[in-house]
Structure 1
């Protein structure tokens, strides 16, 4: 277990809430509401930029361009929760200063901006020292707008009878929200994958496109986006527009548990190879994942744009990550340090890069968990499918929230009869 964040402030007093994330100054004993925790169930450790391997050699200008795109959304939209989280408010202030930078910023100036505006903190779950990384991509498949013997697998638009519940704390529905349909005046769980594949939604005008391979449709659901290349050369861009609320089951895990694929050889290509070699067993395997995704046509995307992430922006290959949005704010910069199989023939090589949180996913859970967006097409898919690796996460915290720079009110004197805490023990707000 990592030691929780311990930062000396004033006369040896410490601030931090074990198991509740980083807490800012404030005390209910002084008549103030307790300060909010920034990151749930997280251990944090302050570090210097010089301690980040590969920081000096990264492309900070590209990272800044991706960050500024997130800033546009931060400026236009409120936070996902009300009242807004301190991290969101602080990022909005940083974004206002980023907007005053020149249109084109060189690498040296971009690096100086990040180092001036943020302080790096290692972040991990309380019970492990490293985080975990996976990869995702935007598939590209051949298809048509009209069903034929060649293209007979549908990709569906969001059904009109789909009701996705709002989160308990308010805000828009998420990909973890329950989904229902109304039957005889009451809500029941929405159809699962097997029912939909068996035709419960057919002939309702929901088919956006038809593709050749059911396995391609399955992976399009997992990735949440797909490019469908039509016979005339047009590319139809489809993006996530809802889900059926059924539980997501990783079929790779099922293959491992059943002894069909060794854990060390598990990848997206290994799953595809098993399904291709065992069509009937593969079909039943995919149906074990009851989750199902619906799409919309993303007409707003340009030819060079990546898929649209949950922040509502086109993703940047190699710079955008999906995070747990219950913990983190979109637009947050993270520096990732890992050894990943991104080299020739899957050779391991350092992945040391500043990334921006712009997306989320149902399997992305925890303070140090991320899905790296690798782009579109077969090559990106092969690369993304190999990533299941540990890595170190360094969160860039806006200086306004840095406890080492933040003034902390001195506690009121205690009555003489009250026992005093030793100087080495934190008086937790």
Structure 2
């Protein structure tokens, strides 16, 4: 989704949008560089060798049915031959991830108690921690969601701001989905894709409008998120998903608002930004023009989908930097989360699957949590900004797993 990188969502999440409104119980160290890149040659994961440092998993076995669905989504992905091209990653092989998923699903089906499951995990699985932003495991967690916006399939009235389909001459890598360029009339590929401003001003996207929205910032948010649900005038809902992008770099409009002094960092969340641009529409395009990336859409059903092209589930799907973390893997994370109304901050721990990526998730110290779809999910996602820990569970060598799809 978050662009299949949502590209996932290009997920970018509200974190990407800069929804950085910590609750009163969240303490962040402003001196930490959460976007610190991984030093060359270093793995993003480190095996925990001291059993005392392995978390207690026994409280994380609620809603096993939904967790099993998420595991199955990763198993589906790992069965695709193309998935093998992304391994090994951080020293973890494709076979290790796949066997781990099967073994974990077997445990979920075993009817064991939470205490027994915790014991089995500690006995049969190696636990890896992300090195984090400081080589000590510190992660910054943010949230992302799938927005719902008013839209029309035809232009008219308030519906003046389009999202576009993929140009017919767009060329992307069949395995990674990365943009390669545009095919010329003679069959060669032009790698110099225009940036967002040039695409919109040139008129070459005319006729490729997929839908028209009522607010330019909402159209922009859909692009940042990589997917959206559109509420049409007849009351029906249409799902659109990520189809590709122009290959240009992404720049956060939220950070531009802060740099320009138009909003304070602590004021940033999706709703406040939408309201700001409704009151100050003249400010939108100059700021948006600083972002060179442009995202294309396609009709979609059954989603939203993550970068592994499997459906993402609330609190069960994570977005990480797929250049350093092993995709589709079984994870466990601990952080603080607001309640369903976006209020407060309470400790949270749970299992999830690494199934998405995001434009702002480009470091070992960053992770985005998928929260769901609609306004309520957006409110909650916009208030997630907290430190925590991220773990990967990999079946130990010599341990068996029943392979059945």
Q: What range describes the TM-score normalised by the shorter chain of this pair?
A: 0.7 to 0.9
Alignment partner of 1:79 is 2:83: yes
Distance 1:47 1:240, change over 3 A: farther
C-alpha contact 1:48 1:119 (8 A) present in aligned 2: no
Task: Give 1:339's match in structure 2, choosing from 333, 336, 351.
Answer: 336
The residue aligned with 2:33 is: none
The residue aligned with 2:231 is: 229
The residue aligned with 1:363 is: 360
Q: Which moved more, 1:99-108 or 1:317-326?
A: 99-108
Q: Which moved more, 1:190-199 or 1:95-104?
A: 95-104
Task: Give 2:206's match in structure 1, choosing from 190, 193, 203.
Answer: 203
C-alpha contact 1:335 1:394 (8 A) present in aligned 2: yes
The residue aligned with 1:4 is: none
Task: Give 1:88's match in structure 2, choosing from 84, 87, 94.
Answer: 94
**1:26-53 Cα deviation digits (max 9, x unpaired):** xxxxxxxxxxxxxx35555345488526
Mapped partners of 1:401, 1:116: distance in 2? 12
Mapped partners of 1:351, 1:401: distance in 2? 32
Mapped partners of 1:262, 1:254: distance in 2? 11
Secondary structure of 2:255 counterpart? helix
The residue aligned with 2:163 is: 155
Distance 1:186 1:345, change over 3 A: closer
Residue 19 of structure 1: CA displacement?
Answer: 6.2
C-alpha contact 1:139 1:227 (8 A) present in aligned 2: yes
**1:158-181 Cα deviation digits (max 9, x unpaired):** 111223368xxxx4233xx56456
Task: Give 1:141's match in structure 2, choosing from 139, 149, 153.
Answer: 149
Alignment partner of 1:67 is 2:75: no
C-alpha contact 2:47 2:126 (8 A) present in aligned 1: no
Mapped partners of 1:161, 1:230: distance in 2? 29
Residue 105 of structure 1: CA displacement?
Answer: 6.0
Distance 1:155 1:82, change over 3 A: closer
Residues 91-170 of structure 1: matches in 2 within 5 Å?
Answer: 91-97=97-103, 108=114, 114-115=121-122, 117-125=124-132, 127-129=134-136, 130-164=138-172
Mapped partners of 1:89, 1:54: distance in 2? 24
For structure 1, which runs of at least 5 residues remain unmatched after alignment?
1-17, 22-39, 403-429
C-alpha contact 1:318 1:372 (8 A) present in aligned 2: yes
For structure 2, which runs of at least 5 residues remain unmatched after alignment?
1-38, 400-405
* Count of aligned positions: 355
Residue 275 of structure 1: CA displacement?
Answer: 1.6
Task: Give 1:397's match in structure 2, choosing from 391, 394, 398.
Answer: 394
> TM-score, normalising length from structure 2?
0.77
Mapped partners of 1:41, 1:99: distance in 2? 25
Task: Give 2:346's match in structure 1, choosing from 334, 346, 349.
Answer: 349
Residue 189 of structure 1: CA displacement?
Answer: 2.2
Task: Give 1:189's match in structure 2, choosing from 178, 187, 192.
Answer: 192
Mapped partners of 2:209, 2:373: distance in 1? 23
C-alpha contact 1:343 1:349 (8 A) present in aligned 2: no
Distance 1:360 1:401, change over 3 A: farther
Mapped partners of 1:377, 1:395: distance in 2? 29
Alignment partner of 1:56 is 2:59: yes
Mapped partners of 1:151, 1:104: distance in 2? 53
C-alpha contact 1:180 1:245 (8 A) present in aligned 2: no
> TM-score, normalising length from structure 1?
0.73
Alignment partner of 1:252 is 2:277: no
Coordinate RMSD, CA, aligned: 3.1
Mapped partners of 2:236, 2:304: distance in 1? 17
Structure of higher RCO (CA pairs closer than 8 Å, 6+ residues apart): 2
Mapped partners of 2:249, 2:398: distance in 1? 37
Residue 308 of structure 1: CA displacement?
Answer: 0.9
Mapped partners of 1:135, 1:317: distance in 2? 10
Distance 1:401 1:195, change over 3 A: farther
The residue aligned with 1:9 is: none
Mapped partners of 2:223, 2:229: distance in 1? 12
Mapped partners of 2:348, 2:235: distance in 1? 35
Mapped partners of 2:100, 2:135: distance in 1? 31
Residue 210 of structure 1: CA displacement?
Answer: 1.7
Secondary structure of 1:273 counterpart? helix
The residue aligned with 1:380 is: 377
C-alpha contact 1:182 1:188 (8 A) present in aligned 2: no
Residue 259 of structure 1: CA displacement?
Answer: 2.5
C-alpha contact 2:251 2:290 (8 A) present in aligned 1: yes
**1:266-311 Cα deviation digits (max 9, x unpaired):** 2223322322221101222122212111111113x1xxxx401111
